[in-house]
Amino acid sequence: MSDTPIDPRITALNRRKRIAAALLVFAALVLLAARIAEQHLHHWSLALLAAMSEAALVGGLADWFAVVALFRHPLGQRWIPHTAIIPTRKDAIGESLADFIANHFLGREQVAEKLREVDIGAALARRLTDADTSRAVGRAVARGLARVLDVLSDERLLRFAHDMSRERLRSLDLSGLAALGIERFTADGRHQALVTDVLRFLSDKLQSPSVQDEVKRRVAREVGRVLRWLGADEYASNRLISAGIELIGEMAEDPDHELRQYIETQVQGFAARLRTDERLRAEVDAFRDRLLDSDDFRAYVRLLLADLVRWVEQDAARDDSVIATRVAQGLHAVGERLLEDADLRDWVSSSVRETVEPLIDEHRDAIRRFIVDRIHRWNAEEMTRELELAVGSDLQFIRYNGTAVGALIGGLIFGVTQLIALSM
């Protein structure tokens, strides 16, 4: 026994077909009974009943033929003209349907008029400020980003991306970029506050006894022989360290300190050399190339990408995803701005209309060709079956009505003929 579920449309169609057939059988049985009864009893009611059942039978059969002829040849008789209309004229029907959709639904005026009726900017703002919508979009972005990064982490794509990026980075003027960074960082003394903070941090740290002990230990280890050769004792070593700490403190408090100015001059000179010194530039380029060709660098980049992919995947799987939350907050902020700014909403609406309207004519023919091509590709039997399941149940009501209306017309004709006969 098959476990495949039965299409409810098939059940409904078969039930209504049985009802229509039962009506025809009932009309035939009534006609037969009326004719037999007339042989034994002559009464106008029997004649009326026979006329009505006969007309009902004819009407029901005629409508059965009409409905069946849409989908197949009645009783399999192919010689009957204009039957099996849908399967034999499938392509023509498809072209007519495509023309109808293109002309009445995708006409430039119809679409443009509908776009003008809709306040696109306000509708977009309402959707963006809707919490459920912004969260759903945020989650979709997070999941989509995770999938993209997962695809990009494929070994072949990694190798391709590495080769492409390496060739692109080889043409990078790293010297000029470094010089530009130094110049922008030091322009208008922007770096002075950072330098001051760093020097103060060092000065504070060096005031710690534990740090001073560590410095003394390292100084004694590195330059102890020199101090002993010069006859310097521990006092001299301590004074040397103290002087260094004082110097750092003075530099931290005095932006115009001579040593800071000297370092500033050296940094500016180094930036200038990065632009003009060909030997230095060649050394920087050689360093760049060695870095790009380094297996360690390649492994490090892949490790970073793997960590990024893993973090994004883990974040996307969480209900409180950081990425989704950020995206949702951004969309909500954009929506609120749109709600507050009528001019911005009008600009969005007009921009969408100006973008979409020229595309209507351009893509309408493409949509029409797509519909025609899809219908041409459909199997005639499959298309016929789907159409019959879609509208066949409703078409059975035509058979019901044909049987009932036939009976009424039969009775009417009988009554008219009897009146004519009486008047003569």
Helical residues (DSSP H) of 207-321, grouped into ranges: 209-230, 234-253, 258-276, 278-293, 295-317
- CA atoms lying within 13 Å on the CB side of residue 58: 11
Please, which residues have CB within 8 angstroms of residue 34's CB and are 6 or more apart in sequence? 46, 47, 49, 50, 53
| 325 neighbors 138 (Cβ within 8 angstroms) | yes
pLDDT at residue 258, rounded to an integer:
76
Structure tokens at 142: 């997070």
| 149 neighbors 391 (Cβ within 8 angstroms) | no
Q: Using CA atoms of 105, 108, 110, 116 in order, give the dihedral in degrees to the nearest 10.
A: 130
Amino acid at 372: V
Closest among 242, 248, 244 to 200, alpha carbons compared: 248
Structure tokens at 171: 């043409």
Radius of gyration of the CA atoms of the chain, in A = 45
pLDDT digit string (tens) for 23-78?
Answer: 999 999 988 988 888 888 888 888 888 889 999 999 989 989 988 888 888 887 88
Per-residue b/e over 295-308, b at no fewer than 16 CB within 10 Å? eeeeeeeeeeeeee
pLDDT at residue 245, rounded to an integer:
72
pLDDT at residue 26, rounded to an integer:
92
Predicted structure pTM score: 0.46
Sites in the chain below the pLDDT cut of 50? 1-2, 230-232
268-272-278 Cα angle (round to 5)? 145
CA distance 354 to 5: 49
CA distance 350 to 342: 12
Q: What are residue 71's phi and psi, to 5 degrees?
A: -105, -25
Three-state DSSP state, 174: helix
Percent of the chain with pLDDT over 70: 80
pLDDT at residue 161, rounded to an integer:
62
Q: Is 182 exposed, middle or buried (0-12, 13-18, 19+ CB in 10 A)?
A: middle
